Structure 1
Amino acid sequence: MIRPLFVAGLAVLALAACEKKTEAPKPAPTPDNLAQTPPPATPAAAEPKQIVYACADGSVLKATYPDDKTAVIDYGDKTRTLTVAMSASGARYVGEGLQWWTKGMTEGMVAPLKDGEDVASAKPVECMAPSDAGK
């Protein structure tokens, strides 16, 4: 007698475990409940880091890298937007009559580009940033 009750109890437990639980449906969005729901948080874009370089000719060059293909250079009395260009080593940026070639984030060379030049023929000016500039 105990055995059939035991088996019946196991069957009830098994069926209860298989029972699909349903949640109460969420109310349809209305202007009232939309106004109460905060918008999802969006991650803030990282502020591009500006690195200040002291150049061998006594000038200062400020470089900002808004993305991996662009360098915004404050040099002399102008701000120029340069784009990445092919180089054998380091990162080279050209545009608006200027070439900026860096090795790491602490060393760079700046040179004017003559009309029609892809690579500057003028002697570059070496520039150095603090050793912690890339961090």
Structure 2
Amino acid sequence: MAKLHFSAAACVAALLGLAACNKPAEQAKAPEAPAAAIPAPPPAASTPTTYACDDGASVKASYPDADTAVVELDGKAHTLKIAVSASGARYVGDGLQWWTKGMTDGQLSPLKAGEDIASAPGVNCKAPESATPAG
């Protein structure tokens, strides 16, 4: 009798499994909702931050949008665009590379003709702790 009970249970389970696979055509072919676009994060700091560099220079940097840094050096503004980096945020353009780690540390390097990543070591720059947003 137990053998018969097991066979009936196995048959019911198999039928339920088949019923789950047999969806109406409308349900099986329902279009998936498009993935929601992830908005770009807001810029880390839209007001300028002044960095003191190891060579005595000062660099003023602002970030008008998530893909742009405006770096002012020796009274001249340079607009740089975001570039691939393993860590931090790296911006390049106008013969310069500005690479930041958080909001306090930056490194400004010259780009030689044809370079996408600066080969020169550049100069380290630091923003005062008071310039960083509280978090």
Per the normalisation by structure 1, the TM-score is 0.63
Shift of the alpha carbon at 1:134?
A: 2.5
Shift of the alpha carbon at 1:48?
A: 2.2
Q: Percent identity?
A: 57
Q: What is the aligned partner in structure 2 of residue 94 from structure 1?
A: 92
Q: Which amino acid aligns with 2:55?
A: D
Q: What is the aligned partner in structure 2 of residue 43 from structure 1?
A: none
List gaps (5 residues or longer) in structure 1: 1-46
Q: What is the aligned partner in structure 2 of residue 65 from structure 1?
A: 63
Q: Which amino acid aligns with 2:56?
A: G
Equivalenced residues, count? 89
State the structure with more CA Rg. 1
- Structure 1 residue ranges (4+ consecutive) displaced by more than 4 angstroms after TM superposition: none
Give the whole-Å Cα distance in 2 for the aligned partners of 1:123 and 1:48: 27
Matches within 5 A, 1:7-86: 48-86=46-84
Q: Which amino acid aligns with 1:128?
A: K
Deviation sequence 1:59-80 (CA, Å, 0-9, x none): 0000010011000000134210
Shift of the alpha carbon at 1:131?
A: 1.1
Question: SS in structure 1 opposite 2:100?
Answer: strand
Deviation sequence 1:67-108 (CA, Å, 0-9, x none): 110000001342100000000000000000000000000000
TM-align CA RMSD:
1.3
Q: What is the aligned partner in structure 2 of residue 107 from structure 1?
A: 105
Per the normalisation by structure 2, the TM-score is 0.63
Give the whole-Å Cα distance in 2 for the aligned partners of 1:114 and 1:69: 22
Q: What is the aligned partner in structure 2 of residue 118 from structure 1?
A: 116
Q: What is the aligned partner in structure 1 of residue 29 from structure 2?
A: none
